[in-house]
């Protein structure tokens, strides 16, 4: 099995879908090798494309704040995207791009990391990981598939644009914080 380092190197060189043609830097993800939590968003934005690091723009600052409010330090979480290259004009990744990146990279990252919980941010990540469409239907809930536990919430960019989504996301993160505390107690008592 590949290591996270090997996967990151492969992602940086990947030309399997057309997204590579418009990127400056691929964004493999960032975080510790064996975190309890993995966060999966949509795709790198322009700032992420420049720096090669996920969630460094406004959405990233908001995500970091949300994590901090529930007592989770961003550096303790592995954060990545459904696709690893910035789609030009910030368009939504196409189905082929999502499936290519999932098969080649995202599934392998999940296998290597083996997180206790995968947090899905927004509809694109929900479609990529679970084949589902409606964040409204699943937000704030844990879904178990193929031995993985997924927690669904909104994408930070949607929360920054819509006050009602920001409120829902805030409540989802309260649930997430409580869930991680419960999981932490179980881990200590095992």
Distance CA(62)–CA(65), nearest Å, equals 5
Query: Is pLDDT at 185 greater than 70 in this prediction?
Result: no
Q: What is the CATH number of the domain that holds 73?
A: 3.40.470.10
* pLDDT, tens digit (0-9, with 9 covering 90-100), for 29-46: 999 999 999 999 999 999
Q: How many domains does the chain have?
A: 1
* pLDDT, tens digit (0-9, with 9 covering 90-100), for 137-154: 999 999 999 899 999 999
Distance CA(81)–CA(119), nearest Å, equals 11
The pTM score is: 0.94
Helix axes 58-69, 163-189, angle to 10 degrees: 50
Give me the mean pLDDT over the 128-132 stretch.
96
DSSP 133: -
Domain containing 107: what range?
4-189
């Amino acid at each position: 099995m590949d290591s996270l380092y090997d996967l990151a190197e492969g992602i940086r060189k990947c030309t399997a879908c057309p997204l590579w043609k418009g990127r400056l830097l691929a964004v493999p993800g960032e975080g510790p090798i064996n975190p309890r939590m993995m966060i999966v968003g949509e795709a790198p934005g322009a700032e992420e494309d420049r720096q090669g690091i996920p969630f460094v723009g406004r959405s990233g600052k908001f995500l970091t704040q949300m994590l901090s409010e529930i007592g989770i330090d961003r550096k303790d979480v592995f954060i990545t995207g459904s696709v690893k290259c910035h789609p030009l004009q910030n368009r939504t990744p196409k189905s082929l791009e999502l499936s290519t990146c999932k098969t080649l990279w995202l599934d392998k990252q999940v296998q290597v990391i083996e997180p206790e919980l995968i947090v899905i941010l927004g509809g694109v990540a929900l479609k990529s990981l679970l084949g589902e469409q409606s964040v409204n239907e699943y937000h704030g809930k844990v879904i178990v598939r193929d031995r993985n536990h997924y927690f669904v919430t909104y994408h930070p960019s949607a929360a920054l644009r819509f006050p009602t989504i920001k409120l829902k996301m805030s409540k989802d993160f309260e649930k997430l914080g409580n869930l991680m505390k419960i999981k932490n107690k179980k881990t200590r008592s095992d």
